[in-house]
Amino acid sequence: MTRNEAREIMMQILYEMDATKALDEAKATQLASERLPGDHAVRGGNLLSQIVQSIDEIDGDINNFASKWKTSRMPKVDLAIMRLACGEIRYCDDIPEAVTVNEAINMAKKFSTDNSARFIHGVLGAIIKDKTDD
């Protein structure tokens, strides 16, 4: 399994957890271990757990930089993609931010719309710019 395929599964887990209102660290780790093989399960479970643990801060970042949109109104797929990307930006120092953004855009094109890809690119770009300005 490639890292790209693992990202897609993690995004789907975040989507499912949000849709069922079950954003829970233990559930995230469990789903990662069930759906991801080997090292991907450990790495994915850790990342998903960190995302769920800091979901309020991640959603706050998304809300701050998504002009005229709040996470409560966003399509769930787009939100799951951005949450995963924000988690990688925050917690995965070994993944270049440009790679994270590119993967998020590709997922948006695959699972959502071209408009979503542009929107996600803009939000993530603003979050990264703000992070580097600090």
What lies within 8 Å, CB to CB, of 41 at 6+ separation is 32, 33, 35
What values do phi and psi take at 123, rounded to 5?
Answer: -65, -50
What's the domain range around 45?
3-133
CATH number where 83 lies:
1.10.940.10
| For residue 134, pLDDT beyond 70 | no
The secondary element (H helix, E strand) that includes residue 9 is helix 3-19
Residues 53-69: tens digit of each pLDDT:
999 999 999 999 998 88
Tell me the longest C-alpha to C-alpha distance in the chain.
41
pLDDT attached to residue 78: 97
| CA 122/CA 101 separation, integer angstroms | 10
Mean pLDDT, range 70-86, rounded to an integer: 95
Output the CA torsion 111→121→124→8 (10° steps).
20
Work out how many domains the chain is built from and give that number: 1
Four-residue CA torsion sign, 47, 62, 4, 9:
positive
